[in-house]
Chains A and B, each alone.
Chain A
Amino acid sequence: MRTTPRRASRTAPRLAAALASLTLLLAGCSGDSGDDDGKITLQFQSLAWQKESVDANKALVEEWNATHPDVKVEYIQGSWDSVHDQLLTSFEGGEAPDIIHDASDDLADFAYGGYLADIGDLLPERLKADIPRRSWETATFDGKIYGVPFLQEPRVLIANAKWLKKSGVRIPTPEKPWSWPEFRAITKKLGDGTDGKYGVAWPLKEPVSATLNLSLSTGGKMFHRGADGKVDVRFDAPDQVMPRTVHDQVNVDKSASGTTLGMGGSDTLPGFFGGKYAMVPLGFSYRQQIVQQAPKGFEWQVLPAPAGEEGLAQGVSPQTLSVSEDSAHKKEAAEFIDFFLRPKNMVKLARGDWMLPTGEEALKDPALRTEKNGWSAGTALSEDLRPAPAQSVRGYPEWKDKVATPALQEYYSGAIDLDELEKRLVKDGNLVLARYQR
Chain B
Amino acid sequence: MMRTKKPARAAQYAALTAYLVFLAFPFLWLISTAFKPARELGSLHPTWIPKDPTLDNFRQAFDEQPLLQAAGNSLIAALSAALIAVVIATPMAYVMARHRNRVAKAATGWVVISQAFPFVLIIIPLFLILKNLHLINSLLGLIMVYVVWSLPFALWMLVGYVRAVPTELEEAAAVDGASKVRTFVSVVAPLLAPGIVATAMFAFITAWNEFFFALVLLKTPEKQTLPVILNRFIGTEGVADLGPLAAAAFLATIPSLVIFAIIQKRITGGMLAGAVKA
Q: Which residues of A contact B173 (CB under 8 A)?
A: 3
Given contacts A82-B211, A86-B215, A92-B124, 10 further A-B contacts (CB under 8 A): A5-B186, A25-B76, A31-B135, A49-B233, A51-B60, A51-B64, A81-B234, A85-B216, A93-B128, A103-B236
Report the minimal beta-carbon distance from A406 to chain B, rounded to whole angstroms. Answer: 18
Q: When the two chains form their complex, are residues B137 and A32 in contact, meaning their CB atoms are under 8 A apart?
A: yes
A8–B216 alpha-carbon span in the complex (Å): 40
Question: Are the C-beta atoms of B234 and A49 separated by less than 8 Å?
Answer: yes
The answer, yes or no, to whether A122 is at the interface (CB within 8 Å) is no
Of the A-B pairs whose beta carbons lie under 8 Å apart in the complex, a sample of 18, sorted by A's number, is: A1-B172, A8-B189, A22-B83, A26-B80, A29-B76, A30-B134, A31-B136, A85-B216, A89-B127, A264-B239, A265-B237, A266-B242, A274-B44, A275-B44, A283-B236, A286-B239, A292-B39, A292-B42
**Residue-by-residue, is B189-200 near A (CB-CB < 8 Å gives 1, otherwise 0)?**
110000000000
- Given contacts A85-B120, A293-B39, A93 and B220 within 8 Å (CB-CB): no
Whether the Cβ atoms of B140 and A273 lie closer than 8 Å is no
Which residues of the other chain, A, contact B263 by a CB distance below 8 angstroms?
A: none
Q: Which 7 A-B pairs have the closest CB atoms?
A: A274-B44, A293-B42, A31-B138, A29-B139, A2-B278, A93-B127, A292-B38
B80 close to A8 (CB less than 8 A): no
Residue numbers in B under 8 Å from A32 (CB-CB): 137, 220
Known: A32-B137, A270-B43. A265 touches B239 (CB 8 A): yes
A1-B169, A89-B123 are contacts. A273–B235 as well, Cβ < 8 Å?
no
Q: Which residues of A contact B187 (CB under 8 A)?
A: 3
Across the interface, A81 reaches (CB within 8 A) one of B63, B231, B241, namely B231
Residue A98 is within 8 A (CB to CB) of chain B in the complex: no
What mask results when residues 46 to 72 of chain A are scored 1 for a CB within 8 Å of chain B, else 0? 000111001000000000000000000
- Do the beta carbons of B190 and A8 come within 8 Å of each other? yes
A95 within 8 A of B: yes
Does B235 lie within 8 Å of A8, measured CB to CB?
no
Asked whether B120 lies within 8 Å of A80 as measured between CB atoms, the reply is no
Q: Does A289 contact B (CB under 8 A)?
A: yes
Asked whether A320 is an interface residue with its Cβ less than 8 Å from the other chain, the reply is: no
Q: Is B267 an interface residue (CB 8 A)?
A: no
Contact present for A206 and B44 (CB under 8 Å): no
A309-352: contact bitstring with B at CB < 8 Å (1 yes, 0 no)?
A: 00000000000000000000000000000000000000000000
Which residues on the A side are within 8 Å of B237 (C-beta)? 206, 264-265, 283
Q: Which residue of B lies closest to A55 (CB)?
A: B64
Which A residues have a C-beta under 8 Å from some C-beta of B? Answer: 1-5, 7-8, 12, 15, 18-19, 22, 25-27, 29-32, 43, 49-51, 54, 76-77, 79-82, 85-86, 89-90, 92-95, 97, 103, 206, 264-266, 269-271, 273-276, 283, 285-286, 289, 292-296
Residue-wise interface mask of B (201-236) relative to A, using a CB-CB cutoff of 8 A (1 in contact, 0 not)? 000000000011001100111000000100111111
Contact A269 B42 (CB under 8 A): yes
The verdict on A295 contacting B239 (CB below 8 Å), with A1-B169, A12-B185, A54-B64 known, is no
- Chain A residue nearest in CB terms to B244: A51
Give the distance in Å from the alpha carbon of A85 to the alpha carbon of B123 in the complex.
Answer: 10
- The residues of A that contact B231 with a CB separation of less than 8 Å are 79, 81-82
B49 at the interface (CB under 8 A from A): no
- Inter-chain contacts of A95 with B (CB < 8 A): 127, 131, 136
B152 within 8 A of A: no
Residues of A near B212 (CB, < 8 A) are 82, 85
B83 touching A82, Cβ below 8 Å:
no
Judge whether B157 is part of the interface by a CB distance below 8 angstroms. no
Q: Contacts A26-B143, A32-B220, A269-B42; is A92 near B127 (CB within 8 Å)?
A: yes
Q: Does B100 contact A (CB under 8 A)?
A: no
Chain A residues with Cβ below 8 Å from B240 are: 266
Residue numbers in B under 8 Å from A31 (CB-CB): 134-138, 140-141
* B5 on interface, CB distance cutoff 8 Å: no
User: Taking CB as reference atom, which chain B residue is nearest A276?
Assistant: B44
Name the distance in Å between A3's Cβ and chain B's nearest Cβ. 5
Tell me whether B235 and A49 are in contact (CB under 8 A).
yes
- Cα distance A289–B42 when bound, in Å? 9
Pair A79/B140 contact, Cβ less than 8 Å? no
Assess the A86–B216 pair: CB atoms within 8 A.
Answer: yes
CB distance from B60 to the nearest CB of A (A): 7
CB within 8 A of B186: which of A8, A29, A265? A8
B46 on interface, CB distance cutoff 8 Å: yes
* Cβ-defined contact, B239 with A289, below 8 A: yes
**Max chain A Cβ within 10 angstroms of own Cβ: one of B42, B63, B127:** B42
